[in-house]
Structure 1
Amino acid sequence: MTSGKPISSHLLPLDPRRRRSLAWAAGLALLFPLAW
């Protein structure tokens, strides 16, 4: 089950600003473990 796919499709209708914020959070979440 890919939790990223349904979430992305659900965010599509949302305003782009909110999507960018979520994208930033996802990027930071992915970068944090890499930085560690």
Structure 2
Amino acid sequence: MNGDSGKCLDDVWSHENGTTLVQYDCYAGATQVWHG
């Protein structure tokens, strides 16, 4: 979660390289789960 906006990073249902990422309301969905 971004400490300033209170929003989470979301990949808008695409897992392809080069996908545009957006800040979106946090809802703990699959598109907001990140693995390093």
Q: TM exceeds 0.5?
A: no
The bucket for the TM-score relative to the shorter chain is under 0.3
Q: Please give the TM-score of this superposition, normalised by the length of structure 1.
A: 0.21
Q: Which structure has the higher relative contact order (CA within 8 Å, separation 6+)? A: 2
The structure richer in strand per residue is: 2
